[in-house]
Structure formats: C-alpha cells, structure tokens
Amino acid sequence: MKTLRIVSILGALLASACEKGAPATAEEGAPVGATAAPKGLAVTVDGTGYHPSTIAAPAGRAARLSFTRTSDEGCGQQLVFPSLNIRKDLPLNQTVTVDLTMPASGSIAFACGMDMWRGSVVAK
C-alpha cells in the first residue's frame, strides 16, 4: 500500500512538472542538471551568400549556429568550418545547427563547400 501511494505521488509530481514545461533534461540525451543548450544564432543562406556573414558570439562560451538555406541558387548546399573539421550538408528550407565553443578571442571561419562564400563567428 505504501509503495502504491509513493508511486502515485511521484506520478502526480512528474505530471505537474510536465504541465509547467519543466524539462526532464537540459537538452536531448543530457542528464538532469546539465548545462542548458547555448542560445542560437540564425544565419540564412540564399543565392548570394550568408546573411549575416559575420556573427558575434560570447568569447569562451558555447554557441549554437542555425543555418537555413532558402535558395537553390549558388553554392550554399554545403557548410564547412575548416578549422573545426566540420562539414555539413544544408538541405533546402531545413535548419541545420552547428554547436561550437568560441575561443577567448579571435574568430572561427566558415564557408560554402566550394569556398566561394565566406563568413565568420567573432568572439566578443
């Protein structure tokens, strides 16, 4: 009987937390209490390049960049961060995220797969 009551109370507490939007994890697959996901920085990729092409992010902190390709024109089908050895395909009208840790100073460059369009994330 005690076990049933404890299970019932725990179930009510869990349901209450879910109704309030309290996450069970800091981010998908992360344990409770883990550091929250970094705030996102949005970049649009169209027929002329990256918009914005220079992005400021907090120095020494995690950053999440979200790239959305909105045009089939140009060479924006791939995204490359050469210094981080990251290469990602950018499907049309789908957001692709890149998580990185900013250096204490300086910037991290990114480019299209053909290295014609370029951008950077600057530590501020």
The DSSP call for residue 39 is P
Q: Are residues 81 and 117 in the same domain?
A: yes
Distance of alpha carbon 95 from alpha carbon 69, whole angstroms = 7
Longest dimension (CA), the chain: 70
Q: What is the pLDDT of residues 43-69, one digit of tens each?
A: 999 999 999 999 999 999 999 999 999
Q: pTM score > 0.75 for this model?
A: no
Q: Are residues 26 and 42 in the same domain?
A: no
Distance of alpha carbon 80 from alpha carbon 18, whole angstroms = 38
- What domain range includes position 43? 38-123
Q: Are residues 43 and 73 in the same domain?
A: yes
Q: Are residues 23 and 46 in the same domain?
A: no
Name the strand (E) or helix (H) holding 14: helix 2-19
Q: What is the pLDDT of residues 85-115, one digit of tens each?
A: 999 999 999 999 999 999 999 999 999 999 9
Q: Are residues 50 and 99 in the same domain?
A: yes
Amino acid, res. 99: D
